[in-house]
Amino acid sequence: MLTTRGQKFSLKATLYISWVAAAGLTVFSAGMLRWQSTGVGRFLAFLFLAQIVSTQKISLPGMTGTMSPSFLFMLVGIADFSFAETLALGCTAAFVQTLWKAKHLPKPEQVIFNISTLVLCAGFSGWLSHEIVLATRTTSLFVLLAIAAFLFLVLNTALVSVVVSLTEQKPLRTEWVQCFYWSFPYFFAGALAAGSVSALGRSGGWPSGLLVLPLIYLCHLWYNVHVTNAARQQALLEGLSENSRALLREAEPTLVDT
């Protein structure tokens, strides 16, 4: 999820955001035109919970992006909801995550980009994961969600890394590797959690799947502490490195003309 530090978007970044927004709007419109309900009560419950967990954001070290557990509700949507309902979950989750307690007032481009990104990720990973499962004749729920989570992660980190690279003039490969590195454990745990929610919901009714939520929240808190400590260590190492370079510059011998 993209956040800004008050900087202006470059022309290339603006054009890229426009392209992502157009693609996201196209996918969202196509999905809404074919709306199918799998149960109003269950959908509204998961929509409400997705908005709540979207407020639990984690800032990634050295990056301007954030993560939240809301993506696991999109994974549950891929397994149990219709395509249109899954897109609606992604759209509302992105909107809440972008605006909730933002350090800087989000720009319209940022809001549009974040919503479009999650719509594209939810739509693409949901469609392709189901196609792969059908082609391989696999019936495993966890295989479906593992494929969907991996596709979601790759596309999400790629889309965000490109706009950050264009905006902050950072190497794209370095930005993507760092984003993927910090996101992978979170998405891996999220895929397992989504599989548990879906499996319990299928066996005992959808409310029983919500029993996993306290465990998910504890995992979220642990990862938040882990990322915070890692960010502090990284800042400390950067400070020590800068001090070392300053001392070396001061220790350099001064050439005196004779």
In the chain, the domains with their CATH numbers are: 11-250 (1.10.1760)
Q: Is 4 in contact with 110 (CB distance < 8 Å)?
A: yes
Placement of tokens 């490969």 in the chain: 173
Quote the pLDDT of residue 150.
Answer: 93
Q: H or E element: which one contains 23? A: helix 11-33
Q: Is the pTM of this model over 0.85?
A: no
DSSP states along 87-100: HHHHHHHHHHHHHT
Count other Cβ atoms within 10 Å, centred on residue 211. Answer: 13
Q: Which residues of 7-16 are buried (b: 16+ CB within 10 A; e: fewer)?
A: eebeeebeeb
Tell me how far apart the 2 most distant CA atoms of the chain are, in Å.
90
Condensed to tens digits (0 to 9), the pLDDT of residues 203-253 reads 888 888 888 888 888 888 888 887 788 777 766 766 666 666 666 666 655
Kindly report the length of the chain: 258
Select, from the ranges 25-29, 107-111, 225-229, 249-253, the one with the highest average predicted confidence (pLDDT). Answer: 25-29
Could you tell me which residues come within 8 angstroms of residue 174 by beta carbon, excluding any fewer than 6 positions away? none
Average pLDDT over residues 143-160: 92
Q: Is 97 in contact with 55 (CB distance < 8 Å)?
A: yes
Q: H or E element: which one contains 144? A: helix 141-168
First-to-final CA distance of the chain: 61
Q: Quick one: CA dihedral 161, 167, 168, 172, positive or negative?
A: positive
Condensed to tens digits (0 to 9), the pLDDT of residues 65-99 reads 777 888 888 899 999 999 999 999 888 888 888 88
Quote the pLDDT of residue 256.
Answer: 46
Q: Is 90 in contact with 82 (CB distance < 8 Å)?
A: no
